[in-house]
Structure 1
Amino acid sequence: MALYTAHLPQWKRDEVEEIKRHAEEYKLVGLVDFQGIPASQMQQMRRNLRGSAVLKMTRNTLIEHAFAEMGGEIEGINNHIEGHSALIFTNENPFRLYKKLQETMTKMAAKPGEVSPEDITVPKGPTSFPPGPIVGQLQQAGIPAAITGGKVVIRETKTVVKEGEVINAKMADVLSKLDIKPIDVGLSLQIAFYEGTFFEPKTLAIDETEYFNNLVLAAQQAFNLSVNAVIPTATTAGAIIGKAVREARNLGVEAAIYEKDIVELIIGRTQRESLAVKAIVEEN
């Protein structure tokens, strides 16, 4: 999109300068999509972010103006502007910001024409509906329903909308009546620019539990490798020495080498073997 850079009205000039000022003050500049967020929820999100981030809602063209004027790597943010974009400024690292924004997400009922972000499944079981027209409405939407014991019952679990499919009006109405809310609503991070690097959401979506477990496993494997390969470190030197002592002791016992530290072990082994032989003889 071509940008007109001269003769901006003063209020637009002020907006551009505010964006540039925030971009210079904060370590992270991000784009978020706020489409579909009710005003009351947006106000709550602003309160939740207060003190840790600044949310700036303005026109996309003014965002483009600001970063085009700044130039350099940060101008690449303009390549990610899409839909109803807003700016977020913070000194948090991008992983922490992404997690915080994910925590703002809530589930909402689907509207006709919306694209399903996931498979929508209607579970098997009783509903709260009394017998009536709802049975026909469910069946027309492809949901197997029947009347049992004076209640409307879903006869089997069924996926009614696949991820990426458009939710039609009939399906949206039925899902709303079943209180199924498949749409995530919240500030969705589009891109983050942090200390000269761009971070996409797919890079930031980390399962912290899995990540921690992988670190623990890697540490355990590195420890075992160091011990088994006899590569001493400050952490593994004690384990390596202990392993060497045990192996030397076992070798001494197996080879019947009479040293003061293993004589008792050799005698004990001999006694166990003689008892075993005695038991075999007595059985025969």
Structure 2
Amino acid sequence: VSIIKMRKVRSTQILPLRKTLKGEVEIVCVKNNIAQKALEKLDIPGIKEISVDLKEQVIFIFTNMSPFKLNVLLGKNKVMMGARTGDIASIDIVVPAKNTGIAPGPMLTEFKDAGIPTKIDQGTIWIAKDTTPAKKGDIINEKLASLLGKLDIKPVEAGISLYSAVEHGLKYTAEEMIVDVEKTRNTFAQFHQEAVSLSIEVGYITADNISQILSKASQSARSVSIESGFMTSETKEQILQKADAQAKAIVAQSKDYTPA
């Protein structure tokens, strides 16, 4: 059982979420006092733990899915929403040059206040050129939010995350359910590589490292053979080259040798 607080969630986000996760989760909206009474009657380990979170309007999500997996899925199902006063732009807001279809009038002032150049043509307001009235991270004021709504531009990425959840009698907070998938994947990849390297170093054979261990053993045997002068079909050439080089070095040194 998981809950989502509605404080920063819009009702328009819930419907597409129901469709996306249909068959996997059950989303229930209910008044807190009713939910409180229902929780008191449920004989599920840990379920009463989340009753303390019913201090404002919430949504219940019932599922057999792990809350960690559910939170990741919710994070992937973000949508672009229309801006409201005080929202932070999730992207650079670009208003493209086009015919708005809006008749001249008070709207011209709204475009001017937003710094968007316009012209009148064929009885409607045209945006003269592509304009960026706000950058990613900017706070959207009331006038710009209203104008973007009329132009059907949605600059705010909205997602839903779990506030708390109960699984197998354990309660998890929002912070505990945050999973950085990419970081976790990279960490496991690093651990795997370190384990493979260690197993190769100690000669512990597994399906993942057998080719590397055999290659290392072959190289070590070759080096010992060359160093000791023990000839094989694979090391004969290197041993002869080494012996030739040593002989030439001795000859070169003997030229300068004067017996006492």
The counterpart of 2:26, out of the listed 54, 70, 91, is 54
User: Alignment partner of 2:80: what SS?
Assistant: strand
- 1:56 is displaced (CA, Å) by 2.1
- 1:88 is displaced (CA, Å) by 1.4
Superposed counterparts of 1:1-284, under 5 Å: 29-34=1-6, 35-38=9-12, 42-43=14-15, 45-68=17-40, 73-112=46-85, 115-116=87-88, 119-123=90-94, 126-129=96-99, 136-141=109-114, 143=115, 145-146=116-117, 151-154=127-130, 158-159=134-135, 162=138, 165=139, 167-184=140-157, 188-228=161-201, 230=202, 232-235=204-207, 236=209, 239-253=212-226, 255=227, 257-261=229-233, 262-267=235-240
Partner Cα distance (1:75, 1:103) in 2: 29
Tell me the C-alpha RMSD between the 2 structures: 3.9
Partner Cα distance (2:97, 2:210) in 1: 64
TM-score, normalisation: structure 2: 0.68
User: Alignment partner of 1:189: what SS?
Assistant: coil
Q: Percent identity?
A: 23
Could you give the per-residue CA deviations for residues 80-135 of structure 1, whole angstroms, max 9, x where no partner exists? 335431211111111332234345442221233x543x555324x85225797767
The unaligned stretches of length 5 or more in structure 1 are 1-28, 278-284
The 1:94/1:256 distance shift into structure 2, 3 A limit, reads same
Partner Cα distance (1:256, 1:73) in 2: 70
Given that residues 82 and 148 in structure 2 are in contact (C-alpha distance below 8 angstroms), is that contact kept between their aligned partners in structure 1? yes
Partner Cα distance (2:19, 2:133) in 1: 40
- 1:244 is displaced (CA, Å) by 3.0
Partner Cα distance (1:193, 1:102) in 2: 19
Partner Cα distance (1:60, 1:182) in 2: 32
TM-score, normalisation: structure 1: 0.63
The unaligned stretches of length 5 or more in structure 2 are 120-125, 250-260
- 1:30 is displaced (CA, Å) by 0.8
Partner Cα distance (1:183, 1:84) in 2: 22
Partner Cα distance (1:61, 1:134) in 2: 46
User: Alignment partner of 1:267: what SS?
Assistant: helix
Partner Cα distance (1:264, 1:135) in 2: 88
Could you give the per-residue CA deviations for residues 219-260 of structure 1, whole angstroms, max 9, x where no partner exists? 1222113323x252434455334313312312432x361333
Partner Cα distance (1:178, 1:137) in 2: 12
- Structure 2 equivalent of residue 280 of structure 1: none
Partner AA of 2:11 in structure 1: I
The 1:257/1:136 distance shift into structure 2, 3 A limit, reads farther
Larger radius of gyration: 2
User: Alignment partner of 1:56: what SS?
Assistant: strand
Could you give the per-residue CA deviations for residues 256-284 of structure 1, whole angstroms, max 9, x where no partner exists? 6133352233235668x69xx9xxxxxxx
The 1:186/1:121 distance shift into structure 2, 3 A limit, reads closer
- 1:59 is displaced (CA, Å) by 0.8
User: Alignment partner of 1:153: what SS?
Assistant: coil
- Structure 2 equivalent of residue 18 of structure 1: none
